[in-house]
Amino acid sequence: MSTAPAASAVKSIGHHIGGSPREGSSGRSGKVYCPASGEMTAEVAFAGQAEVDQAVDAAQAAFPDWAARPPHVRARVMFRLRDLIESNAEKFAELINSEHGKVLSDARGEVTRGLEVVEFACSAPVLLKGEFSENVGRGIDSIAQRQPLGVVAGITPFNFPAMVPMWMFPVALVCGNCFILKVSEKVPSAAMLIAELLKEAGLPDGVFNVVNGDRETVEALIDHPGIRAISFVGSTPIARSIYQRGTNAGKRVQALGGAKNHMVIMPDADLDQAVDALMGAAYGSAGERCMAISAAVPVGDATADALIEKLAPRVRDLQIGAGLDAADEMGALVTGEHRDKVSSYVDLGVEEGAELVVDGRGLKLQGLENGFFIGGTLFDRVTPDMRIYKEEIFGPVLSVVRSPSFDHALQLVNDHEFGNGTAIMTNDGGAARAFMNGVKAGMVGVNVPIPVPMAFHSFGGWKESLFGDHHIHGAEGVRFYTQLKTSTIRWNDGLTKGASYAMPTNS
């Protein structure tokens, strides 16, 4: 029997505007659940136009002073935030587990990966150094500088309540912007803790605001003329519509969408290593990761048969629970509705003719009978025309798609509409190099199943997995949250004589 989470009173979650917590005033709200017990744990307020206006007003009022502070002074807030997040890491992990359902070790990892972006943001003075060219013309110099945009907003998905917000706001803030965060209404508590810690770290009021809410809140943010840029992470249909609506409104938008990530397993690969990699990448976080591997592509039937033989018992033996025991490998799905959707995809796979090797449907855990659980599920002989292959399931369901050759496997990955991450398992350097260079995906792993770039590199997919021109965090993040200004400078040096009507050139 798995350790059950302690029952607690239903709490009320509002917003954080202008440096203070605010109760909701729109009259609309949503329910937050503990996925392991199935109990409602909180009611979260949904911001309407009035609260979004207040957040934008607070951010606009704070902007001139914040933007005028030197980069190293802004970075000092990040240094303090870094220590505060570290000392509150366990509290974050517990909040994430209690609203998302992922196991504690996974939640701790999420906090660490977010923290790394805060650490990256501490180097703001270096990131914002600009460029200088001496003597671009006789007696003329040039300076290129990156300046903040103003008020920017971030809209984030349920599956990383702390990390995905941290992909955005640390970089936006140290670049001199003010930020409005709208996290998923399913997992609001980590963002409220972030707001408290930023205040404790010395961030001036209004520089960082949280509005909770749903579609209505998001639309009020996107349409607001006071917001200059939108970072969005979520599913592809919403990412696409936010990109279109935001860019139509004249905003800069980066919108990261969904995924179907493939792992190609070459005949020469170390199969034990491949199976370990697949277990973590397909079933970690119950498959609710945009970098989860949901399609395994063994090359050759012998590789496929051996893979299934090793994989199936591991999937059957997955240790599933509330996520509080160190032995728990997989937790519940985020909501009952999402669990039912994942389960209906398993029904669909059977109807479509895929071979169901391990069936996770209908899992009931003793003591957690109302939790949103589904067991690990494994399909073999999935074909590219099946909806279970084409669509993102976002649950612990792995499809094995057998491939006759490397070229065929590569083509399969490239033909898929999504292109977030992908991986190849092989000891053949030539195959790995051909895969890395030829594959149409934004992030590639060679014997690395979940190739999430470090904070000082940038994260982002290709094709339907990203709308916009910039990946997130790293140098791309700095570019996204700043606008470039190039000045050409001449001092009175006696070289200018008379008017010239020709295009300025150098000679």
Q: Which residues bind ligand NAD (CB under 6 A)?
A: 155-160, 164, 182, 184-185, 214-215, 218, 233-235, 238, 256-259, 290, 392, 394, 420, 461, 465
Minimal distance in Å, beta carbon 154 to ligand NAD? 9
Active site residue 290: yes
Distance CA 45, CA 402 (A): 47
Q: Which lies closer to ligand NAD via its Cβ, residue 66 or residue 481?
A: 481
Is-contact 154 181, C-beta < 8 A?
Answer: yes
Q: Which lies closer to ligand NAD via its Cβ, residue 146 or residue 289?
A: 289
Minimal distance in Å, beta carbon 420 to ligand NAD? 5
Tokens coding 391: 């669509």
Residues shown for the chain:
507
Minimal distance in Å, beta carbon 305 to ligand NAD? 31
Identity at 412, one-letter amino acid code: L
Is-contact 398 419, C-beta < 8 A?
Answer: no
Catalytic residue, chosen from 122, 175, 178, 290, is 290
Distance CA 47, CA 41 (A): 19
Distant-in-sequence, close-in-space partners of 64: CB < 8 Å, separation ≥ 6: none
Minimal distance in Å, beta carbon 52 to ligand NAD? 13
Q: Which lies closer to ligand NAD via its Cβ, residue 358 or residue 441?
A: 441
Distance CA 316, CA 13 (A): 39
Q: Which lies closer to ligand NAD via its Cβ, residue 316 or residue 463?
A: 463
Q: Which lies closer to ligand NAD via its Cβ, residue 235 or residue 273?
A: 235
Nearest 5 degrees, angle CA 162-CA 390-CA 154?
25
- Beta-strand pair 261-265/293-298: parallel
For ligand NAD, the nearest residue by Cβ is: 234
Distant-in-sequence, close-in-space partners of 434: CB < 8 Å, separation ≥ 6: 406, 410
Minimal distance in Å, beta carbon 425 to ligand NAD? 22
Q: Which lies closer to ligand NAD via its Cβ, residue 120 or residue 406?
A: 120
Minimal distance in Å, beta carbon 114 to ligand NAD? 12
Q: Which lies closer to ligand NAD via its Cβ, residue 16 or residue 182?
A: 182
Residue where the block lists tokens 């999937």: 315
Minimal distance in Å, beta carbon 160 to ligand NAD? 6
- Beta-strand pair 208-210/40-45: unpaired
3-class SS of residue 41:
strand
The H or E element spanning position 98 is helix 89-100
Helix axes 71-87, 89-100, angle to 10 degrees: 70
Quick one: which of 223, 232, 176 has its CA closest to 481?
A: 176
3-class SS of residue 459:
strand
Q: Catalytic residue positions?
A: 290
